[in-house]
Amino acid sequence: MPDIAEYIPIVGQSTIDELYILAGNLKGKMIQNINSTAVGGGVAEILSRMIPLLRQFGVDAHWDVIKGNERFFEITKKMHNALHGARATLTDDDFEFFLQVNRQNAAELERYGDVVFVHDPQPIGLIERKEELGRKWVWRCHIDFTHPDPQVIQFLEAYINQYDSAVFSAPAFSRKLNIPQALISPSIDPLSDKNKDLPPELIDSILERYNLDRTRPIVTQISRFDYLKDPVGVIEVYKMVKKNVDCQLVLAGGGATDDPEGMQVLEEVKAAAAEDPDVHILFLPPSSDIEINALQRASTVVLQKSLREGFGLTVAEALWKERPVIASAVGGIPLQIAHKYSGILTYSKEGTAHFLKQLLNEPKYAARLGANGREHIRNNYLITRHIRDYLLLFISLFHEGDIIYLN
Ligand code: UDP
């Protein structure tokens, strides 16, 4: 983990000074994060960087992961899809099983922080212990909540409303709740293996390992193999473009331990690629940060054709590397991309194909989008801004009734 001082050239001394002052206000308070996977996906990505940095600032921060079996994660994946607008197929038994697993985890957890910071729906039922334990409880929602299935959201809201506060990633996801809400966007760590600068020789060797030809354009989407990331749609876009412009397509990603659908999606993607030698499907193991970094840096254009998205960290990662990004206008992506200024927002396969051809043909325009994108990420979506927002939120929990301005 880098030393805090290494962030100063990127974000400035005053940003770091402010974080020390804010962290000082949480002396003696334990901040406990709880989610459902240690690897894979955006939440684990952020926590793995956030916890060590908070500790360097002197905050007593911890991270615990709840345990679940196959049935539990099948249920939570269905819930996740239903919150993203798919029709729910959850039975009363499923909801009961979900609660049982939460209760078992609640009983087995070895500690409870002064702030219990619960991420996403999987561990939401831990709140049942609030009455007995006290503490401050915050529910952090990382997912797209714009078209939730009524049955699932009704079930969850009964739990959300027991928390002291809820945090959403983008204004569009906030809901009418009985508790205070904060809007805090996620972030990337510019010094992580995923995002730090890499020597050109290392990028070359990684690309060679994956048999990618650096003399021809490379179009990439990095994502878990998930229907909501629309990898098959990406292949269709590639096929439309390839008729006119030569390029290679990289679909790279792994699974997450709390996502049981990955293998099925991967098989469908392989079938759609139909052994085209210019389509590279890379199933990556969890510790592939340097490889992902290199793939993003070597890409001519980065795509994120999600059908639904929480925030879309992969967009921030690519923009930070000055890559031109074409992404669907869903979830938190429009916060990151101002259309035709810091990237391209699209609404269909045809639109994505149209802009992909344009960016492959106009490298100067593409480079300008990437450069603007990097500055936008520097100003808004780096981990230091995220830590500031969280520290202010935690402090506010111990000052109920006072006015706290988060932005
Ligand atoms: N990621 C990864 N390995 C993979 C696929 C994705 O490390 O095989 C990372 C990716 O670089 C990003 C995060 O996981 O940091 C995905 O976050 P995002 O918000 O884009 O989507 P989510 O997976 O949370 O829906």
Q: How far is the CA of 256 from the centre of ligand 1 (A)?
A: 9
Q: How far is the CA of 404 from the centre of ligand 1 (A)?
A: 32
Which numbered atom of ligand 1 lies nearest the CA of 194?
11
Q: Is the minimum distance from the CB of 45 to ligand 1 under 6 angstroms?
A: yes
Is it the case that residue 174 has pLDDT exceeding 90? no
Distance CA 93, CA 68 (A): 16
User: Which pLDDT does position 146 carry in this prediction?
Assistant: 84
In terms of DSSP H, where are the helices of 190-261?
Answer: 200-209, 231-242
User: Which pLDDT does position 302 carry in this prediction?
Assistant: 99
Q: Is the minimum distance from the CB of 317 to ligand 1 under 6 angstroms?
A: yes
Specify whether the CB–CB gap between 76 and 98 falls below 8 A.
yes
Which numbered atom of ligand 1 lies nearest the CA of 45?
15
Determine if the pTM surpasses 0.95: no
For the segment 19-38, the average pLDDT, to the nearest whole number, is: 97
**Domains of the chain with CATH codes:** 4-187+382-398 (3.40.50.2000), 200-380 (3.40.50.2000)
Q: How far is the CA of 81 from the centre of ligand 1 (A)?
A: 17
Q: Select from 39, 292, 309, 336 the residue to mutate for testing ligand 1; criterion: most ligand atoms less than 8 Å from CB.
A: 292
Q: How far is the CA of 66 from the centre of ligand 1 (A)?
A: 20
Convert the pLDDT of each residue in 43-90 to its tens digit: 998 999 999 999 999 999 999 999 999 999 999 999 999 998 888 789
User: Which pLDDT does position 405 carry in this prediction?
Assistant: 59
Nearest CA to ligand 1 atom 10: 314
Q: Which residues pair with 98 in a beta bridge?
A: none
Confidence class for position 196, pLDDT limits 50, 70, 90: very high
User: Which pLDDT does position 404 carry in this prediction?
Assistant: 57
Is it the case that residue 172 has pLDDT exceeding 90? no
Phi-psi region of 145 (alpha: psi -120 to 50; beta: other; left: phi over 0): alpha
Convert the pLDDT of each residue in 385-401 to its tens digit: 999 999 999 999 998 77
Is it the case that residue 179 has pLDDT exceeding 70? yes
User: Which pLDDT does position 61 carry in this prediction?
Assistant: 98
Is it the case that residue 232 has pLDDT exceeding 70? yes
Q: How far is the CA of 317 from the centre of ligand 1 (A)?
A: 10
Q: Is the minimum distance from the CB of 313 to ligand 1 under 6 angstroms?
A: yes
Which numbered atom of ligand 1 lies nearest the CA of 253?
8
Is it the case that residue 402 has pLDDT exceeding 70? no
Which numbered atom of ligand 1 lies nearest the CA of 289?
7
Of 282, 281, 304, nearest to 233 (Cα)? Answer: 304
Q: How far is the CA of 400 from the centre of ligand 1 (A)?
A: 35
Distance CA 271, CA 3 (A): 46
Q: Is the minimum distance from the CB of 343 to ligand 1 under 6 angstroms?
A: no
Q: Is the minimum distance from the CB of 42 to ligand 1 under 6 angstroms?
A: yes
Is it the case that residue 336 has pLDDT exceeding 80? yes
Q: How far is the CA of 42 from the centre of ligand 1 (A)?
A: 5
Distance CA 275, CA 281 (A): 10
Which numbered atom of ligand 1 lies nearest the CA of 41?
23
Beta strands in 161-258 (DSSP E): 165-168, 181-183, 218-222, 248-253
Which numbered atom of ligand 1 lies nearest the CA of 309?
25
Q: Is the minimum distance from the CB of 292 to ligand 1 under 6 angstroms?
A: yes
Q: Is the minimum distance from the CB of 311 to ligand 1 under 6 angstroms?
A: yes
Q: Select from 77, 223, 317, 336 the residue to mutate for testing ligand 1; criterion: most ligand atoms less than 8 Å from CB.
A: 223
Looking at the chain, the whole-number percentage of residues with pLDDT higher than 90 is 88
Sheet with 325-328, side-by-side order of all strands? 279-283, 248-253, 218-222, 301-304, 325-328, 344-346
Which numbered atom of ligand 1 lies nearest the CA of 142?
24
* Burial (CB count <10 Å: 0-12, 13-18, 19+), residue 243: exposed
Question: Crossing angle of helices 363-380/313-320, nearest 10°?
Answer: 110
Of 354, 300, 350, nearest to 325 (Cα)? Answer: 300
Q: How far is the CA of 310 from the centre of ligand 1 (A)?
A: 11
Q: Select from 210, 222, 302, 323 the residue to mutate for testing ligand 1; criterion: most ligand atoms less than 8 Å from CB.
A: 222
For the segment 117-144, the average pLDDT, to the nearest whole number, is: 96
Convert the pLDDT of each residue in 143-155 to its tens digit: 888 889 999 999 9
State the chain's mean pLDDT as an integer. 95
Q: How far is the CA of 326 from the centre of ligand 1 (A)?
A: 17
